[in-house]
Structure 1
Amino acid sequence: MSTRTITATEFLTLDGVIQGLGRPDEDTRGGFTHGGWGPRYNDDVMGRELGKGMARGGDLLLGRRTWDDFAVQWGQAADDNPYSTLMNAATKYVVSRDLNSADAWQNSVLLRGDAVDTVTELKAAPGPDLSILGSGALVRSLHAARLIDRYTLLIHPLTLGSGARLFDGPAPLIEFDLTEAVTTTTGVIIAHYHRAS
């Protein structure tokens, strides 16, 4: 029996920062003051590439902080664009040790407990493939357990010098093959990797 694949899509800087991509107030933990660094790099090329991922469908897998933020940003938005339509219609699995209910956003399912244990079980169950957006802490724990099959990295041409990074601390030796790379008009490299080992 084949298992579901997990693809993590991450927006990051050249120095690996993933914190506070969209808005100045998105994530100020640790005194982070560079929030909102990403939108000025958006262009039609990026939109088309992200649209390809959306077209494949599947379920979403989110960490608690990302789910909370998306529930406000997308869950209360009208379905007037393809992103909000997709986000609201998709089954969203939120991984959390302390969330009591996932009722705040339609089509959300709470995976309560240890991330590696609950996601291993979910990945082995029949169903569509899974996509992680953001959710850095979740990605780090699933990466260490070799549960992430693919990465789509949107590498932005700037350094911030501070902020949470995609891999804060050691990561295990896992090799990936580059399967495709696209450069946007604003200098963002969109690199698609599949796990080789």
Structure 2
Amino acid sequence: MREIIMCTFLTLDGVMQAPGGPDEDAESGFTHGGWQKPASDDEVGAAVAGWYEHSDAMLLGRRTYEIFASYWPTADPANPFTARMNAMRKYVASRTLTSVEWQNSTLLRGDVVDALRELKASDGGRINVVGSGDLAQTLMRHGLVDEYRLTIHPVVLGTGKRLFADGAVPTALEPVSVSTTKGGTVVGVYRPTGQPGYDSY
């Protein structure tokens, strides 16, 4: 059974939208694209690189796939991450794409939840979900996330798409590892353990 790992950059108020640049995702009038780099540091980069050491595939929604496919094939080959991103197997969940051209990419066909369950049951290593907000919501609703790897940056935006949006399934999380970088970013790894517990003081 393969594990699906949610790898996400978040603001302190939980926004995941457009961390990488102003033109990444302006849906719903979002004007804060590119917020992640100024709130990051070298330790964050090292942690994120480590997320890929024991994973052999990525799972991407359409928008994230298109952003990555337009950048990584021609990215600086001196960047050690370039070869890794191009070589990894990519699975793409989309209702509108009819083909995927980036090397080692496979378009998931049919019902996405059935395709994801079949993917989890296949042979292979861990699968990282990167960005892909709509796909993330589908995975969480159907209990398909095995682990969350989150960087929580010291910035508040007040608007934008959130990973744990309204209507998220109540879930208890067990911390696997949590650390804080010199720049104040919390790097946390958490695994779902079922329903939250409730008590009173």
TM over 0.5: yes
* 1:178 counterpart = 2:178: no
Q: CA offsets per residue over residues 38-64 of structure 1, 9 Å max, x none?
A: 101222211221122122131111111
Assess if the C-alpha contact under 8 Å between 1:28 and 1:35 holds in 2: yes
Question: Which residue, out of 70, 75, 80, partners 1:82?
Answer: 80
Measure, in 2, the Cα distance between the counterparts of 1:135 and 1:61: 9
Question: Which residue, out of 184, 189, 192, partners 2:189?
Answer: 192
Correspondence for 2:93:
95
Correspondence for 2:4:
6
Assess if the C-alpha contact under 8 Å between 2:14 and 2:162 holds in 1: yes
Aligned residues: 194
Question: Which residue, out of 28, 34, 39, partners 1:30?
Answer: 28
Measure, in 1, the Cα distance between the counterparts of 2:42 and 2:13: 24
Pairing 1:151-166 to 2, within 5 Å after superposition: 151-166=148-163
Which amino acid in the other structure matches residue 121 of structure 1? E
Give the CA deviation at 1:134.
0.8
Assess if the C-alpha contact under 8 Å between 1:179 and 1:194 holds in 2: yes
Which amino acid in the other structure matches residue 176 of structure 2? T
Assess if the C-alpha contact under 8 Å between 1:96 and 1:113 holds in 2: no
* 1:139 counterpart = 2:136: yes
Question: Which residue, out of 65, 68, 77, partners 2:66?
Answer: 68
Measure, in 2, the Cα distance between the counterparts of 1:161 and 1:115: 31
Give the CA deviation at 1:174.
2.1
Which amino acid in the other structure matches residue 87 of structure 2? A
Give the CA deviation at 1:172.
1.4
Correspondence for 1:56:
54
Question: Which residue, out of 19, 22, 31, partners 1:21?
Answer: 19
* 1:129 counterpart = 2:126: yes
Long gaps (5+) in structure 1: none
Structure 2 counterpart SS, 1:112: coil
Long gaps (5+) in structure 2: 195-201
Measure, in 2, the Cα distance between the counterparts of 1:57 and 1:166: 21
Correspondence for 2:115:
118
Q: Which consecutive aligned stretches of 4+ in structure 1 deviate over 2 angstroms post-superposition?
A: 112-115
Which amino acid in the other structure matches residue 185 of structure 2? V
Assess if the C-alpha contact under 8 Å between 1:99 and 1:112 holds in 2: no
Q: CA offsets per residue over residues 98-156 of structure 1, 9 Å max, x none?
A: 211012x1110000233211111111111121111111111111011000000011111
Structure 1 counterpart SS, 2:73: coil
- In angstroms, what is the RMSD of aligned CA positions? 1.2
Measure, in 1, the Cα distance between the counterparts of 2:112 and 2:82: 26
Correspondence for 1:44:
42
Measure, in 2, the Cα distance between the counterparts of 1:178 and 1:115: 29
Give the CA deviation at 1:18.
0.7
TM-score computed with the length of structure 2 as normaliser: 0.92
Q: CA offsets per residue over residues 139-192 of structure 1, 9 Å max, x none?
A: 111011000000011111111111111122211122210110111111110110
TM-score computed with the length of structure 1 as normaliser: 0.94
